[in-house]
Structure 1
Amino acid sequence: MNFEQLTRSYINGEWVSGKGSSYTLTNPYNDADLATFPIATKAQLEEAYEAANASYNTWAANTELRTEVLMKALQYFKDHEEEIINVLAVEAGSTYIKAKVELELTIACLAEALTYVDSLGGREVPMTMPGKINKVYRKPLGVISSISPFNFPLFLSMRTIVPALALGNAVVHKGDIQTALTGGTIMAKAFEEAGIPAGVFNVILTEIPEIGDTMIVHPYSKFISFTGSTPVGRHIGQVAGGLLKPVALELGGNAPFVVLKDANIDAAINAAIFGKYLHQGQICMMINRIVLHQDIYDEFAGKFVERAKQLPIGDPLDPSVVIGPMINTRQIEKAQGFIADAKANDIEVLLDGTREGNILTPTIFGNISPDSQLAQTEFFSPIVVIIKAASDEEAIEIANHTEYGLSSSIFTSDLAKGEQLAADLEFGMTHVNDQTVNAIENTPFGGVKGSGMGRFGNPWVIDEFTETKWVSIQVEERQFPF
């Protein structure tokens, strides 16, 4: 399958060319053109919502069909594993390891959805009033608006699309145009091959200047799922809130990696290297700050720097590469701006990164003040800061000192203490003796504070994508006081 030819939107079961301005998809490693195509217009997006709204009731009523389509889509991703990994490399700059992880997460998402595809309908709850049967019904919301980013384009799309479809909803999806294939049309192809009815799943290749807030304000859009930056998430939340529409927002992060005095330092370094440099640091859960007890600061910092120096860089099509390209020049220049500002403020440089084409090699700053602008910045790049804490208690205080609250981790030899401290961290997710980048389908995934709201993962995602309704049946004549 030549996925690079899939440059048309998928609307109402048909592949349609965009009617808007032209867009060129490029390889972030070497800037080679992958494809040029016209983007879809607001009018075409309207067509997608019309089709979705007309289709979801029939889709919701057929549990067997939903099960069959999910099973076939799962098999499609298994059958095309190496081809999809290759496209993730040339389109998103994904290294082989990162692409493999992303595809495995996608397959796990589909497999888990098969366990709750029959969650619609009613269940009886215990009788507390004589003569009355009470049931709780779950109903699909209707049409879900799905908006996903460039960094994990396949999985961060599918974790909304799959549960929404499994629970009887229709979906209108827009991925980042920079990853139009892996964040859009490859999924449409998989579901088309799986036999999804026309209109149930729609993928639109477009940009925000073309469509504005249509995916938020459209009357057929009953729920907005967005993964991206906190400023955009705040805007979506404000607009949707005014319309009383529910949202799931996974936004920015400033993940702390806390290493306590009693930690196994070598194990912590192994975890930190992976948790910082997977996908060049372009992950919202990525380690952004390393917070070390002062007694282990020198040993950890020295070993961490040496490991970071040795990471292979280059073309992500090479399976041995760990550090590949950033997604675009703007992101590289933004990261270089952070580095320049830090140097201008005489921040200690433990490892000075360089730009090699579209690759930015690791940069590590040391002895950072927790209150500094640098410590409060989400880098989304291979930049990391190391902060020294006078005690374990201060390390936790430093970790919590951020507007964000997505993911975090603690390393310690005392697991009971680690669990208690983990519960006290102001983050939606905390991992003891592991790094910060984790996603498991039967756990609650999501953040607090400036990192958003809503939870993915079974069974929490069922609440997100269904409407709960109470139905009572009075089986005996009820006596009233008047």
Structure 2
Amino acid sequence: MDVGLLIDNEDVAASGGGLFERANPVDGAVATKAAAARAEDVDRAVQAAHAAFGPWSATGPSERRKILNKAADLMDEWTPKFIEVGIAETGGTGAWHGFNCMFAAKILREAAAATTQIKGEVIPSDRPGSLSMAYRQPVGVLVGMAPWNAAQILGTRAFALPIACGNTVVLKASEKCPATHRMLADVMTAAGLPKGVLNVVTHGADDAPEVVNALVDHPLTRRINFTGSTRVGRIIAERAAKHLKPCLLELGGKAPLVVLDDAHIAGAVNAANFGAFMNSGQICMSTERIIVDDKVADAFTSAFADKAAALVAGPPTEQVHLGSVIDASCIEHVAALLADAEEKGAKRLCGGLPESGTIMPATILDHVTPEMRIYGEESFGPIVSIIRARDTDHAVELANDTDYGLSSSVFGQDIRRAMDVARRIQAGICHVNGPTVFDEAQMPFGGVKDSGYGRFGGSAGIDAFTELRWITVEDPEQPYPF
């Protein structure tokens, strides 16, 4: 598939005609040829968004809602094509990309509903005859940077609510799924979004620093939302801070699933299996650490190993549970973590490395300890650690013994105790008796510590993508001291 940049609703080539290729991770065939943007292309996209901001910010909520709802309907209709392109670019299964499309449509519909939920307030003032209002209004040109691992969901999230709030957007597509991200903008264009409201720049890996810096540094971009690694997020935050530009950052994770001594074991096993191995563990919320009370550890690990061993890994074009990881570097990283852990005493319960290629089975390591790299490093692959806790307090201590803090979960039948554990876990999200992998478009989604700051979704998202101002109406004949 060949894709260009999208600027002013037109498919355009990059300056100098630069192109790059995205290879299918399974067979190495070229999946996409895309325009390789440079700094001058970023300027063209930002200028288009800036020109569109005035008319779009003045567009009424009903018109914005109509376009977003139409886009959601088109997302449903285009799902088969999204699945085809997504499998080719990222190696994820058809079921995973189908789920992405379904959830992306939900994000669009939620954004449509939010167009009439952008609210301010009247605040009592001590000044007689004065009306004081807290007033929310669009910000201007926003930058959205989305990753490949949940391409349709996270690409849509980067622009849907900002557009609903009256902003215009430049979306920086991931170099690992340029066609998928560009197709999201095509959906919006087909739904009737005016030119310049959403623009897309694609780029090769070597040009990423130049493109990112140009987006962050541009004097007409006002805010940035970024979903991706903690390493890159920190670079973006530091650069944006030089320009006093606010960022919303959703970064890496090392999600713990805590199994208390009164947990429903079958339920915890099901949640762990889903949370650890959905999309081969390549989700920011993926269960990376299972912290189990010693009293139930043997029963849990036995049942979990049996369930994970039954998961089928294979070509993503077939009916399998686990498809390909994103590329060989993922396998190399997981291999290093696995070797280090086994050398230091961890016990592998199932799975292991593939003989070749990028299709890896579900892998479980038991008796993981802090001395092992996998205890603290994000694996972002189909491997999960089991860490045994002495009691509830020790389980909480282990859950918090990480630099990350995005998602988490706790299983226990004493809800008061489970809720106490949930409150004590240092994470932006905690689910009681549910998996770490869970999201809804209207919920406040984001992390703490090295998992970033700010929140997507719902009223928190509206706050992130609007400017809160204080506006007064006063008596022109009011007295002054001089």
CA RMSD of aligned residues (A): 1.7
Tell me the distance in 1 between the aligned counterparts of 2:345 and 2:412.
32
In the other structure, the counterpart of 2:113 is: 115
1:91 to 89, 92, 108: 89
* 1:463–1:177 CA distance, 2 compared to 1 (3 A): same
CA deviation after TM superposition for structure 1 residue 136, in Å: 1.9
* 1:121–1:449 CA distance, 2 compared to 1 (3 A): closer
State yes or no: 1:14 paired with 2:13.
no
State yes or no: 1:51 paired with 2:48.
yes
In the other structure, the counterpart of 2:308 is: 308
Tell me the distance in 1 between the aligned counterparts of 2:36 and 2:277.
33
Tell me the distance in 2 between the aligned counterparts of 1:73 and 1:188.
10
- Map 1:174-189 onto structure 2 (within 5 A): 174-182=172-180, 184-189=181-186
In the other structure, the counterpart of 1:170 is: 168
CA deviation after TM superposition for structure 1 residue 419, in Å: 1.4
CA deviation after TM superposition for structure 1 residue 189, in Å: 0.8
Contact 1:30–1:358 (CA under 8 A) maintained in structure 2:
no
In the other structure, the counterpart of 1:350 is: 349
Tell me the distance in 1 between the aligned counterparts of 2:475 and 2:312.
71
- Map 1:49-448 onto structure 2 (within 5 A): 49-63=46-60, 64-119=62-117, 123-182=121-180, 184-207=181-204, 208-318=208-318, 320-355=319-354, 356-370=356-370, 372-448=372-448
| TM-score normalised according to structure 1 size | 0.95
* 1:352–1:190 CA distance, 2 compared to 1 (3 A): closer
Tell me the distance in 2 between the aligned counterparts of 1:209 and 1:247.
17
CA deviation after TM superposition for structure 1 residue 373, in Å: 2.8
CA deviation after TM superposition for structure 1 residue 25, in Å: 2.0
The unaligned stretches of length 5 or more in structure 1 are none
Contact 1:370–1:398 (CA under 8 A) maintained in structure 2:
no
String of CA shifts for 1:339-359, please: whole Å, max 9, x gaps: 222233343222241215221
CA deviation after TM superposition for structure 1 residue 216, in Å: 1.0
CA deviation after TM superposition for structure 1 residue 251, in Å: 0.6
Contact 2:65–2:113 (CA under 8 A) maintained in structure 1:
no
Tell me the distance in 2 between the aligned counterparts of 1:129 and 1:460.
31
Contact 1:131–1:477 (CA under 8 A) maintained in structure 2:
no
The unaligned stretches of length 5 or more in structure 2 are none
Tell me the distance in 2 between the aligned counterparts of 1:435 and 1:125.
41
Tell me the distance in 1 between the aligned counterparts of 2:281 and 2:190.
34
Tell me the distance in 2 between the aligned counterparts of 1:342 and 1:122.
53
Equivalent residue of 1:375, what SS? helix
Tell me the distance in 1 between the aligned counterparts of 2:458 and 2:115.
11
Tell me the distance in 1 between the aligned counterparts of 2:176 and 2:160.
22
Contact 1:249–1:453 (CA under 8 A) maintained in structure 2:
yes
CA deviation after TM superposition for structure 1 residue 303, in Å: 1.4
Equivalent residue of 1:280, what SS? helix
Identity %: 36
Code of the aligned partner of 2:63 = L
State yes or no: 1:28 paired with 2:25.
yes
Contact 2:288–2:385 (CA under 8 A) maintained in structure 1:
yes
| TM-score normalised according to structure 2 size | 0.95
Tell me the distance in 1 between the aligned counterparts of 2:294 and 2:393.
12
